[in-house]
Amino acid sequence: MITIQGKGVSAGVAAGPLYFYQRAKAEVKRSTSAVFETEWKRFKDAQTKAIEQLGALADKARAEAGDEAALLFETHQLMAEDLDYEEAIEEALRGGINIEAVISDVRDQFAEMFAQMEDAYMQARAADVKDVSNRIIGILTGAVQGGIDSDVPVILAADDLAPSETVQLDKSKILGFITEGGSGSSHTAILARTMGIPAIIGVGDQLKAEYAGREVIVDGGTGTAVLEPDSDTRVYLMKKQEDQRKLQEMLDQLKGKENVTKDGHSIRIYCNIGNPEDVPTVLSNDGGGIGLFRSEFLYLGCDDFPTEDYQFEAYKKVLSDMGGKEVVIRTLDIGADKQIGYFNLPHEENPAMGNRALRICLNRPEIFRTQLRALYRASAYGKLCIMFPMVASVWEVREAKKVCEQVKKELDAEGIAYSSDVQVGIMIETPSAAIISDRLAKEVDFFSCGTNDLTQYTLACDRQNNDLGRFFDPHHPAVLRLLKLVTDNAHKNGIWVGICGELGADLQLTETFLSIGIDELSVSPRAVLPLRRKVRESNVAQVRDRLLGDLLSDQTSV
């Protein structure tokens, strides 16, 4: 038995023979006496054909895996006619080299340039430029695409897979993926998740050619692949697979059903996302809305401040893709563990308690204004709620709301449309905000409790420090009592309250949250259906008095 460890990027267990992807390599010959006009025409013809092929692939991907998968090929179409790429080819062709060799050189040069970039997203574009160039070379040389030449379904191994390779594969032949390279944001990972195929990436040189054809079991949840497992391991993993299959089948039946308890108490179950590409998973897991879009991930993905238009497009996409369902977008929450170089924030001894989130926005209004303009402009495309993070005082909320009013006035003056129905809320993640939630509730339309930070600040316990282990206890009565206090204050003032920290998905506390009267839980998309199941199995009337009694009792163990 050999264990291969990588990074699991698409959960699930699959077993089958290991098969190495056969890539048809086009042989590129080099000549130095080519005629420019002839070669340029060959390039233009092959480029047109590649764009047509990519259009057909986009249609196929859309039908099989949705708009997000199709977008990859549409991006490739743009790359095939990118001006810089074309200019580099034209310039090299003038040196008398034949087109196949020129494209091969330009491909390597561009791929190298992307690979050197610091941003992980841009690094992943190296695979795209290789893919597009190889397609054009393939058309020029008549090379055939690779595939799976096997009668039985396989666990597909590859150095990395280009999106066009992935989408062209016969899915009925693929049980799982293992790749040497790749990243969580690589296309193989994105597509594997979209198609629900277990996948492990980044196993490096642990994959050996002599393993071909041998049995392997892939666990995409843990990132482990076991080659020729011993019988105990096989029994264990196969049982896990069967359990997951049965569970998923059962959970899928809950799609379209209400989040309502046996005694008729309902709660909204929304999702947490980090970027617009997460929306299809929200919809496929039947999330009722988005309870937390961590907008700082847009900033983390850029090398410089994202412009108003860039942000507007991202927010607009999420709002329109959610088709009128509620979307809570949190304004920038950087600082502490999320540092961004171009903000040039000074070093701090205590960043978790330092210049972060709303504090930065209030101190640097030009950054805040840009984001709020983008948000209000996007509000015309759906049901937007804006949420401020890391609030500790009433004046902060008033000042933030003032900037909202200024932004709306500017948009009015410019004749730009926005919704008059945007809710403005705050995160409750400092003990201060929880304790003065009666006052804060008079300022806003909703609260969402960030229990990750609320636990950290209430227990004075660093959420980043794994060594603190049992000291970081989100079940601590101090945290739960604050949640009750916040909920009571919200309801007294007629506003709704949610939880968007990790605790929201903790099934051990679902009945407590229902008893407290929380209105909304926002969790990762895959946690929606398990949570719905738990809600539907609960009977609040039966447990409420006991759970609230325990929570408030002076006998509670702490």
Which run of H or of E encompasses 513?
Answer: helix 510-516
The footprint of ligand PEP on residues 234-293 (CB under 6 A) is 292
β-pairing verdict for 154-158 and 446-449: unpaired
What is the C-alpha to C-alpha distance for residues 322 and 293, in angstroms, rounded to an integer? 12
Nearest to 114 by CA among 167, 184, 186, 8: 186
Minimum CB distance to ligand PEP, residue 246 (Å): 32
Nearer to ligand PEP, 6 or 450 (CB): 450
Minimum CB distance to ligand PEP, residue 344 (Å): 22
Stretch that binds ligand PEP, among 225-233, 283-291, 320-328, 445-453 (CB under 6 A): 445-453
Tokens linked to 543: 């447990």
Out of 453, 511, 519, 520, point to the residue binding ligand PEP (CB under 6 A).
453
Out of 452, 524, 539, 556, point to the residue binding ligand PEP (CB under 6 A).
452
Query: In sequence order, what are the residues at sequence separation of 6 or more whose Cβ sits closer than 8 angstroms to the Cβ of residue 375?
Result: 311, 315, 329, 331, 384, 386, 422
14-28 burial: b if 16+ Cβ within 10 Å, else e: bbbbbbbbebeebeb
Count residues contacting ligand PEP (CB under 6 A)? Answer: 10
Stretch that binds ligand PEP, among 163-171, 201-209, 227-235, 447-455 (CB under 6 A): 447-455
Nearer to Mg ion, 80 or 499 (CB): 499
288 to 327: interface string for ligand PEP, x by CB under 6 A: ----x-x---------------------------------
Query: Which entry of 76, 187, 361, 404 is annotated as an active-site residue?
Result: 187
Nearest to 290 by CA among 385, 181, 429: 385
**Is residue 500 annotated as a catalytic residue, yes or no?**
yes
- The answer to whether 514 and 540 are in contact (CB under 8 A) is yes
Q: How far apart are the first and last CA of the chain?
A: 46
**Is residue 302 annotated as a catalytic residue, yes or no?**
no
- The interface partner of residue 287, options being ligand PEP, Mg ion, none and the CB cut-off 5 to 8 Å by kind, is none
Stretch that binds Mg ion, among 240-248, 422-430, 454-462, 528-536 (CB under 5 A): 422-430
Cα–chain center distance at 508: 26
Tell whether residue 498 is a contact of Mg ion (CB under 5 A): no
Out of 6, 450, 474, 517, point to the residue binding Mg ion (CB under 5 A).
450
Report which DSSP code applies to 288: S
Cross-strand pairs, 497: 447
Tell whether residue 296 is a contact of Mg ion (CB under 5 A): no
- How many residues belong to the chain? 558
Query: How many Cβ atoms from other residues are within 10 Å of residue 401's Cβ?
Result: 15
Tokens linked to 326: 């509620």
What is the C-alpha to C-alpha distance for residues 208 and 213, in angstroms, rounded to an integer? 11
- The interface partner of residue 335, options being Mg ion, ligand PEP, none and the CB cut-off 5 to 8 Å by kind, is none
Minimum CB distance to Mg ion, residue 551 (Å): 23
Nearer to Mg ion, 43 or 457 (CB): 457
Residues that bind Mg ion (CB under 5 A): 429, 450, 453
Catalytic residues: 187, 500
Report the interface residues with ligand PEP, using CB under 6 A: 292, 294, 333, 429, 450-453, 500-501
